[in-house]
Structure 1
Amino acid sequence: MQTSMTPLPNTIIEQAAAWHAHLQSGEVSDSEQAAFAQWHAADPAHAEAYTRMEALWANFEQVQADPAKKAVQAVLQPTAKRRSKLAVRTLALAAVVLATGWLSQTQPARVMMADYRTGIGEQRVITLADNSQLTLDTHSAVNISFNDRVRHVELLQGKLLVTVAKDKRRPFIVETLEGTARALGTQYQVTRHRKVTQVTVLESSVEACASKQSSCVTLHPGDATRIHDVRVEPVMVANVPQETAWTHFKLLADDMPLATLLKELQRYHRGHLYVDEAAISDVHVSGVFALDDTAHTLKVLADTTPVVMTQYTPWLTIIRPAK
C-alpha cells in the first residue's frame, strides 16, 4: 500500500484528541482558545494531528460499532457542571483507540489510513503507475489497487477528477459505496456526497452502475448522473465549467442559493460555518468565488448579500439574515 501519511507520536494524538474534545464542549474561554492556537502553531505535527482528528470525527456518525459509539456518546453527554478532566481524557482515549485501528474497518478510520488523502483546503495531483492522473479535491481520500486485469480506485470521501491513460486490457474503475464508474480511456469526475455518488464525464464515455442492483447508464461528454446503491438516476446535462472550477480553486455561482454556496465553502474552511438555511432560503448569489481564500470569500458575501456574519472564534462563524 502506498501512503502519504506520516506516523505521529501517541502523545501528540492524545493532545489533539483532548483539544478537539474541549473545543467541542462549548465551554472554551478566550485564554484557552489562545492556548490552543499557540499549541496548534508550535509544531507542524500538532496541526497535522488536529487535522486528522477533525477528519475522523467529521464522519463519526457513520460508525456502526455500537459499543464504541455509545461509549463516546456517554462522554459527550452535557452535565450541570463543566465536563470533568476524566471525561475529556476518556474521550481522548476513545479517539486514540479509533485513530490507531480498533475500528479500522469503519469509514472514518479507513479515511485516516487511505493511500492518499487531502486536508481541508488542500488539493493534490497524483500520477499513478500507468500514468493516469488523479486530482483530489479538498478533504478527499482514495485507495489505489492495480493488477493485471483492472485498475481500481476506491473513493472513500470527497471528489476527484481522473484523466485515464489508455489501456485496452485493463478497464479503469472508480468505486464508492454507492457504485462504480468504469472507463477505458477518458476524463471524468466522481463526487461522493452523503450516500450519493455523482459522475460527470468530460471526455469519451463512462459506464455508471449501482452497487446493489444491475442498474447502469452510459455517459458521454457533458453528461452526468447520480448513483444510489440500488439505482442510477436518468442522465442529465452537466455544466462542466461549473462542475470542474474547483480544480482552479474557484466556485462558479449562477443564481445559486447562498446556503448551497456556503455548504461548498465549508469544505475548504477550517472553522465551522453555522447558518440557518431556512432563514436565508431566498438569498441567491452569482459570481466567481475563491476557494483558496475562504476568509476573503466570506467578506465578499458579507458585503454583497443581506446577511450578517459574526466570527466568535477562528473556529466558529455564525451567519444570520440582516435585520
Structure 2
Amino acid sequence: MSFPTQDEGVTPFEEQAAKWCCLLAEDALDLSEQREFDAWICADPRHEEAFEKMVLVWQGADAIAEMPGFLSLRAQALTAMEEGQPDWHEPMPKRFVYMGAGFAAAVMLLAVLTGLVFIGNQSEIYTTGIGERRVVSLEDGSKLSLDAASSVEVTYSRERRALSIERGRAKFDVASDPLRPFIVTAGDKTVVAIGTAFSVELLPQQIRVFLYEGHVAVLDEAEATDLADASKLLADGSLSDRVFMPGQELILSTKARTATIAPGDVERSLSWEGGRLSFIDEPLSLAIERVNRTSDTPIVLGDAAAGRLIINGEFDAGDTAAFVSGVASLYPVRVSADEKKIVISSAKLKLPEK
C-alpha cells in the first residue's frame, strides 16, 4: 500500500475526500453538514470512489504498523501537520482550516498510523431478564442501556456498527465515529444515528424511537439495504419525514407504513432507567407490555375493549399489584388471578332477566 505525498500530488477529488475524512474524524457532522456531505457524494461517482479510498487508507492501521520505518513516517506526518496549521497560540475554531494536498496526505497518514478506526468483526448478544436493567460499555466507547426483559445483538466491523433489538427497549449513547455509521435495527425498521443519544423500543404493534441528542434517520428495510441509495434520498429531502429533532418521539406501526412524530417528555421517557414506569394517555394494552417486563406474574387482557382503556400515572417497576389496583380504581374492570397470571377484563353490564 502506498500513500500520497505532496511531491506525488493529490487529485482534487482526493483532496475533497481527505477534507471530509478529517471533518468526520474530528466530530459528528451537524444536519446541514451531513446534507452537504451527502450531496457531495451524490454529485459525482468519482467522489464516492475517492472517499472510499480515503476510508480504506484510514482503516489500514494494522498493515502500516508492520512497515519498516514506522516511527520515522509518523514523525514526518506530525511535522507536516504542525507546519500546515496556523499559529498554535491563536484560538482554534471548532473545525480546523483545511491546508491543501500536502496537509491532506499527512493527515491521512497520521490517521492510519495512530489507528483511529476499530478493526475487526465482533458479535455479542446482551440480554436482561424480567425486572433486570443493565448498562454496557461497548468497544467503541458507546453506551448501551437495556430495559428489563430486553435483548440486543451487537456486531462491529470495519464498515459499520450494527445493533439489532430482538425484544424490549434499549437506549444508545453513541460515541463519535462517523466513518462507521451506528445502525440499529428493530423489526423491519433501521435507525441510522449521527453522533447522538436515542432509545428504541420494540412492541408487538409499534416501534418507538425517542431522540435525546443529535439526529437520526429511520429507514424501512428496503431503503436500508443500500445505505448509499438511502444517503441520496436523505440528501435530496425525500426522507425528510424520517429525520426528527431532539425531544421528539417517532412512533412507527409494525403492521402498516404509518409513522407519527410527536413531542415527548424526556424525563418521563427515561423513568425506566430509574426503576419507574410512567404512562401518559397510553392504552392499557401498551402499558401492560411494559409492566410485564418487570414482573414474574404477567398481566393478560380478557378482551380487546379493556386494552383500549387509557392509562395515566407513575408506578414502581415490579409493583404489579399497585398497577392493577390503580387500574381497578379508575375503571369498571374485573380482575382475576391465579398462580400463573392476572387477567383484567372490561366489566360488562348484566341484562336483567325476563
TM-score by length of 2: 0.52
* 1:28 equivalent in structure 2: none
Deviation at 1:300, TM superposition (A): 4.1
2:335 is matched with which residue: 302, 309, 312? Answer: 309
Moved more, 148-157 or 246-255: 246-255
> Do the aligned partners of residues 242 and 271 (structure 1) sit closer, same or farther apart at CA in structure 2, a change above 3 Å counting?
same
> Do the aligned partners of residues 311 and 160 (structure 1) sit closer, same or farther apart at CA in structure 2, a change above 3 Å counting?
same
Q: Distance in 1 between matches of 2:220 and 2:184?
A: 12
Q: State the AA in 2 paired with 1:298.
A: V
* 2:263 equivalent in structure 1: 237
Deviation at 1:211, TM superposition (A): 0.7
Spell out, residue by residue over 1:208-237, the C-alpha distance to the aligned partner (whole angstroms, 9 max, x if none). Answer: 111124674212102232446885625333
2:290 is matched with which residue: 256, 264, 285? Answer: 264
* 1:141 equivalent in structure 2: 151
Q: State the AA in 2 paired with 1:262.
A: I
2:133 is aligned with 1:123: yes
* 1:172 equivalent in structure 2: 182
Spell out, residue by residue over 1:231-258, the C-alpha distance to the aligned partner (whole angstroms, 9 max, x if none). Answer: 5625333333333322222222334444
Q: Distance in 1 between matches of 2:260 and 2:282?
A: 23
- Please state whether the residue corresponding to 1:185 is helix, strand or coil: strand
- Calculate the aligned-residue CA RMSD, in Å: 2.9
Q: State the AA in 1 paired with 2:165.
A: L
8 Å CA contact 1:225–1:232 kept in 2: the answer is: no
Identity of aligned residues (%): 27
Moved more, 152-161 or 234-243: 234-243
8 Å CA contact 2:200–2:209 kept in 1: the answer is: yes
Moved more, 163-172 or 259-268: 259-268
* 1:298 equivalent in structure 2: 324
8 Å CA contact 1:210–1:232 kept in 2: the answer is: no
> Do the aligned partners of residues 176 and 286 (structure 1) sit closer, same or farther apart at CA in structure 2, a change above 3 Å counting?
closer
Q: Distance in 2 between matches of 1:138 and 1:256?
A: 19
Q: Distance in 2 between matches of 1:281 and 1:199?
A: 22
> Do the aligned partners of residues 287 and 189 (structure 1) sit closer, same or farther apart at CA in structure 2, a change above 3 Å counting?
same
8 Å CA contact 2:301–2:307 kept in 1: the answer is: no
> Do the aligned partners of residues 131 and 254 (structure 1) sit closer, same or farther apart at CA in structure 2, a change above 3 Å counting?
same
Q: Distance in 2 between matches of 1:266 and 1:190?
A: 18
8 Å CA contact 2:142–2:175 kept in 1: the answer is: yes
Q: State the AA in 1 paired with 2:274.
A: H
Higher relative contact order (CA 8 A, sep 6+): 2
Q: Distance in 2 between matches of 1:312 and 1:149?
A: 51
Equivalent pairs counted in the alignment come to 210
Describe how 1:49-198 pairs up with structure 2 within 5 A.
Answer: 115-194=125-204, 196-198=206-208
Q: Distance in 1 between matches of 2:181 and 2:282?
A: 37
- Please state whether the residue corresponding to 2:294 is helix, strand or coil: coil
Q: State the AA in 1 paired with 2:177.
A: D
> Do the aligned partners of residues 166 and 254 (structure 1) sit closer, same or farther apart at CA in structure 2, a change above 3 Å counting?
same
> Do the aligned partners of residues 201 and 131 (structure 1) sit closer, same or farther apart at CA in structure 2, a change above 3 Å counting?
same
Moved more, 288-297 or 118-127: 288-297
> Do the aligned partners of residues 202 and 304 (structure 1) sit closer, same or farther apart at CA in structure 2, a change above 3 Å counting?
same
Q: Distance in 2 between matches of 1:320 and 1:150?
A: 47
Q: Distance in 2 between matches of 1:234 and 1:255?
A: 16
Q: State the AA in 1 paired with 2:153.
A: N
Q: Distance in 2 between matches of 1:183 and 1:206?
A: 5
* 2:248 equivalent in structure 1: 223
Q: Distance in 2 between matches of 1:227 and 1:304?
A: 29
Structure showing greater Rg: 2
- Please state whether the residue corresponding to 1:280 is helix, strand or coil: helix
> Do the aligned partners of residues 129 and 206 (structure 1) sit closer, same or farther apart at CA in structure 2, a change above 3 Å counting?
same
Q: Distance in 1 between matches of 2:309 and 2:209?
A: 28
* 1:318 equivalent in structure 2: 343
